[in-house]
């Protein structure tokens, strides 16, 4: 099928794709091509080449800590250069065109400089220019707050501008032109035999992007999923069809459990030891981080010993300094024993909608890492991903090992789309003008386009928790454990492995996971055989509480709100895991129903 008569198409060109005058001419040509097919065209452009990096560098030469408002003022000039040049290029080829900055087009954001979120976008000016037959060029990555301060959306944010515009204007598709010819099973620069995917689902792409796949800004995929915008990622200077990012149904691939792997190289770990185990302590810590918009991942809260708890989590390395100042203060106020951090870590993840149950995937991943001699420092999972923390020096090797263990370079039965948007998504776009679920609750005071949407909370009481207390901190241990569990035919749901603790001369880690309650006896038998008696602790019935929505991890307040609600109800959390579409916690079974009610209230469900 083709795009119906007059469709609106949004195109986005990344920095490398507009790095020179020649490339700008080529981008102009691609916009004109769609225009000549009879479509209305909006083009979003990034700053030329590395100019954003250069501007940041310049600011740092003036002052080591540039004030965020002025940094935004400076960075927005990068995109202003490229929109003007692209509009000139298009006009020089005889087609009417007009350029706009974010504020001119009416992209209104909150006031969180350098990480602003879009509140709303007015379509009047865009529509008027389109109806005049013009190609509309919009500066990516920038907006304006209600006090006319210029804001930026965070590095890589032009993708988000493009998809947000596509959403408000009900475009048929959003084409992302970049320096690769699509979304690959992993970063092709790091793994040369990575394979281009024909399709990937919103949930998988959201998770991949949030776990390190820099090809798309993860917040752009939140928009795409909420507003059903089909995205076509393709090469700026090649005609080939790239990768379609579409809904689950359209993207479904037969047989593939794992779709891709990602590496987040710039991770840092923070561990707070010896925290008094009182409700509210840990929540206070995360609340302050959330208020500063620090995205926290891989949270592991350890079982308390002698009334003292321990919390470990990871943040982006750029956020480490900021986070440590918050955490150090909070830890001191609470009388915690110590705060440790490690910036030499990296996070390796596998992602796939087909993995809902982890047994096979976990063993395969952990065995591959063991074989490559990679020590796993921490593990966390969600329904559609497994992440491990490793030494940064081993990050790329770990990624390669995992990529080849899942044979991601081998072509499975992929769905192919053509140049034009897939039919299923187009119908949805035409029907839909707002967020996916009408029953969803918008969290926050003034509702904005990018607000968090929580769609449901859930309670599952059919699981048990197994805890292995003294797992030696060396390669291959997790592989052994999950091989034994998988061989016993038991499915594993949540997995959490904490950072190691020195005990005398040896370092040990704590490994917890949940399995169906009915399999407890069998699991204990298998593990006792492997690890000896007294090494396995069992909680035969736990309650798993979940909050579901879109953009859960990147909207920094969700976990905090969940912890606060549970703490207020005096409920202890024994395991935590999160993805962009869901956050799960395990508590004791007796508190399941109370917890569910507390969460419904906290999230207005
Ligand atoms: P742009 O400037 O066009 O926005 P980016 O540099 O932000 O481009 O994104 C493109 C880059 O993303 C690629 O060159 C590639 O190295 C990297 N990348 C990381 N993960 C992936 C992946 N899974 N598939 C494709 N590219 C990826
Ligand atoms: N120019 C901005 C950056 O380099 C935004 C973008 O390219 O998407 O981060
Ligand atoms: Mg980018």
Mean pLDDT value of segment 455-466: 95
Ligand 1 centre to CA of 350 (Å) is 17
Tens digits of per-residue pLDDT, 9-41? 999 999 999 999 999 999 999 999 999 999 999
What local confidence, expressed as pLDDT, does residue 358 receive? Answer: 58
Cα separation values, 217 from 53, 69, 171, 229, 325, Å: 17, 22, 19, 15, 27
- CA 264 – CA 345 distance, rounded (Å): 9
Tens digits of per-residue pLDDT, 260-288? 999 999 999 999 998 887 766 777 788 88
What local confidence, expressed as pLDDT, does residue 304 receive? Answer: 66
Instruction: Assess whether the C-beta atom of 154 lies below 6 angstroms from ligand 2.
Output: no
The pLDDT of residue 239 is above 70? yes
Tens digits of per-residue pLDDT, 201-227? 999 999 999 999 999 999 999 999 999
Cβ–Cβ under 8 Å, residues 511 and 467: yes
pLDDT band with cut points at 50, 70 and 90 for residue 48: very high
pLDDT band with cut points at 50, 70 and 90 for residue 357: low
Strand 173-178 relative to strand 231-235, pairing: parallel
Mean pLDDT value of segment 350-374: 89
Probe ligand 2: pick from 14, 55, 155, 218, max atoms within 8 Å of CB?
155
pLDDT band with cut points at 50, 70 and 90 for residue 425: very low
- CA 581 – CA 587 distance, rounded (Å): 20
Strand 536-550 relative to strand 501-503, pairing: unpaired
The reply to whether domains 8-179 and 262-411+439-602 share a CATH topology is no
Cβ atoms within 10 Å of 589's Cβ, excluding its own? 18
The pLDDT of residue 62 is above 80? yes
What local confidence, expressed as pLDDT, does residue 451 receive? Answer: 86
Probe ligand 1: pick from 12, 157, 180, max atoms within 8 Å of CB?
180
> Domain 8-179, what fold?
Carbamate kinase (3.40.1160)
The pLDDT of residue 430 is above 50? no
- CA 13 – CA 316 distance, rounded (Å): 26
The pLDDT of residue 468 is above 60? yes
Ligand 2 centre to CA of 349 (Å) is 24
What is the enclosing helix (H) or strand (E) of 127? Answer: helix 124-131
- CA 482 – CA 526 distance, rounded (Å): 10
pTM value is 0.92
What local confidence, expressed as pLDDT, does residue 420 receive? Answer: 81
Cβ–Cβ under 8 Å, residues 405 and 363: no
Domain ranges of the chain: 8-179, 262-411+439-602
Q: Which atom of ligand 1 is nearest to the CA of 176?
A: 3
What local confidence, expressed as pLDDT, does residue 5 receive? Answer: 60
Taking all residues of the chain, what is their mean pLDDT, rounded to a whole number? 90
Ligand nearest to the CA of 160: 2
The pLDDT of residue 503 is above 90? no
The pLDDT of residue 188 is above 90? yes
Q: Taking the chain, what is the end-to-end CA distance rounded to the nearest angstrom?
A: 40
Ligand 2 centre to CA of 568 (Å) is 41
Q: Which atom of ligand 2 is nearest to the CA of 153?
A: 5
Cβ atoms within 10 Å of 490's Cβ, excluding its own? 20
Tens digits of per-residue pLDDT, 512-529? 999 999 999 999 999 999
Ligand 3 centre to CA of 341 (Å) is 29
What local confidence, expressed as pLDDT, does residue 335 receive? Answer: 83
Percent of residues, the chain, with pLDDT higher than 70: 93
Cβ–Cβ under 8 Å, residues 164 and 217: no
- CB under 8 Å to 601, separation ≥6 — which residues? 565
The CA-based angle 549-271-569, given to 5 degrees, is 50
What local confidence, expressed as pLDDT, does residue 563 receive? Answer: 87
User: Which two three-digit tokens encode residue 466?
Assistant: 């197994």
Residue whose C-alpha is closest to residue 260's, from 357, 141, 161, 387: 387
Q: Which atom of ligand 1 is nearest to the CA of 158?
A: 4
- CA 388 – CA 469 distance, rounded (Å): 19
CATH number for 262-411+439-602 (one of 3.40.930.10, 3.30.565.10, 3.30.2130.10, 3.40.30.10): it is 3.30.2130.10
The pLDDT of residue 433 is above 60? no
The pLDDT of residue 560 is above 70? yes
Looking at residue 498, the DSSP 8-state letter turns out to be P
Cβ–Cβ under 8 Å, residues 593 and 305: no
- CA 189 – CA 216 distance, rounded (Å): 15
pLDDT band with cut points at 50, 70 and 90 for residue 423: low
Sequential DSSP letters for 40-59: EEEEEEPPSTTHHHHHHHHH
Cβ atoms within 10 Å of 285's Cβ, excluding its own? 27
Residue-level length of the chain: 605
Range ranked top by mean pLDDT from 398-402, 447-451, 488-492, 601-605: 398-402
Helices (H), 258-406: 281-291, 320-334, 359-371, 395-405
The CA-based angle 513-516-520, given to 5 degrees, is 80
User: Which residue minimizes the CA distance to atom 2 of ligand 1?
Assistant: 14
What local confidence, expressed as pLDDT, does residue 29 receive? Answer: 98
Instruction: Assess whether the C-beta atom of 140 lies below 6 angstroms from ligand 2.
Output: yes
Q: Which atom of ligand 1 is nearest to the CA of 213?
A: 20
What local confidence, expressed as pLDDT, does residue 303 receive? Answer: 64
Strand 385-391 relative to strand 378-382, pairing: antiparallel
pLDDT band with cut points at 50, 70 and 90 for residue 508: confident
**Three-state DSSP class for residue 57:** helix
What local confidence, expressed as pLDDT, does residue 427 receive? Answer: 41
Mean pLDDT value of segment 94-120: 97
Helices (H), 228-319: 248-251, 281-291
């Amino acid at each position: 099928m083709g795009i119906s008569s007059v469709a609106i198409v949004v195109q986005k060109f990344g920095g490398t794709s507009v790095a020179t005058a020649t490339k700008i001419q080529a981008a102009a040509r691609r916009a004109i091509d769609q225009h000549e097919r009879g479509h209305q065209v909006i083009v979003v452009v990034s700053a030329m080449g590395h100019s954003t990096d250069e501007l940041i560098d310049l600011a740092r030469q003036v002052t080591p800590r540039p004030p965020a408002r002025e940094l935004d003022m400076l960075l927005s000039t990068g995109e202003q250069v490229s929109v003007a040049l692209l509009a000139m290029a298009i006009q020089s080829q005889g087609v009417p065109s007009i350029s706009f900055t974010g504020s001119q087009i009416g992209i209104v954001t909150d006031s969180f400089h350098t990480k602003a979120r879009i509140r709303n976008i007015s379509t009047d000016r865009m529509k008027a220019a389109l109806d005049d037959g013009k190609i509309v060029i919009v500066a990516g990555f920038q907006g304006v707050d209600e006090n006319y301060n210029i804001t930026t959306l965070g590095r890589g944010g032009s993708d988000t501008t493009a998809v947000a515009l596509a959403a408000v204007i009900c475009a048929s598709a959003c084409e992302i032109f970049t320096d690769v010819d699509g979304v690959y099973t992993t970063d092709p620069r790091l793994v040369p035999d990575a394979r281009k995917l024909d399709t990937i689902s919103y949930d998988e792409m959201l998770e991949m992007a949030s776990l390190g796949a820099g090809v798309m800004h993860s917040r752009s995929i939140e928009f795409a999923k909420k507003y059903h915008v089909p995205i076509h990622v393709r090469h700026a200077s090649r005609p080939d069809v790239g990768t379609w990012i579409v809904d689950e149904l359209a993207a479904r691939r037969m047989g593939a459990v794992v779709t891709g792997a990602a590496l987040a190289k710039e991770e840092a770990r923070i561990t707070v030891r010896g925290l008094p185990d009182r409700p509210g302590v840990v929540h206070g810590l995360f609340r302050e981080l959330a208020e500063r918009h620090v995205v926290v991942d891989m949270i592991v809260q350890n079982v308390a010993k002698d009334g003292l708890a321990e919390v470990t989590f990871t943040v982006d390395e750029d956020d480490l300094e900021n986070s440590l100042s918050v955490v150090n203060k909070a830890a001191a106020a609470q009388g915690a024993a110590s705060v440790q951090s490690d910036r030499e870590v990296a996070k390796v993840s596998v992602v796939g909608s087909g993995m809902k149950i982890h047994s096979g995937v976990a063993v395969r991943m952990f065995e591959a890492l063991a074989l490559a001699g990679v020590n796993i420092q921490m593990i966390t999972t969600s329904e559609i991903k497994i992440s491990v923390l490793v030494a940064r020096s081993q990050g790329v090797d770990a990624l390669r090992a995992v990529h080849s263990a899942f044979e991601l370079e081998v072509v499975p039965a992929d769905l192919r789309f053509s140049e034009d948007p897939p039919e299923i998504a187009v119908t949805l776009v035409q029907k839909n003008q707002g967020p996916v679920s009408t029953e969803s609750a918008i969290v926050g005071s003034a509702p904005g386009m990018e607000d968090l949407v929580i769609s449901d909370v859930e309670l599952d009481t059919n699981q048990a928790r197994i805890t292995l207390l003294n797992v030696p901190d060396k390669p291959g241990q997790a592989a052994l454990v999950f091989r034994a569990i998988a061989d016993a035919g038991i499915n594993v749901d949540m997995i959490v492995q904490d950072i190691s603790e020195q005990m005398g001369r040896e370092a040990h880690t704590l490994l917890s996971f949940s399995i169906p309650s009915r399999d407890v006896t069998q699991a204990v038998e298998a593990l006792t055989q492997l690890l000896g008696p007294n090494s396995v602790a069992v909680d035969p019935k736990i309650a798993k509480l979940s909050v579901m929505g879109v953009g859960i991890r990147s909207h920094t307040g969700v976990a905090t709100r969940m912890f606060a609600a549970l703490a207020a109800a005096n409920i202890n959390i024994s395991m935590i895991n999160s993805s962009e579409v869901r956050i799960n916690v395990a508590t004791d079974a007796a508190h399941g129903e109370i917890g569910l009610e507390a969460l419904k209230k906290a999230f207005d469900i």
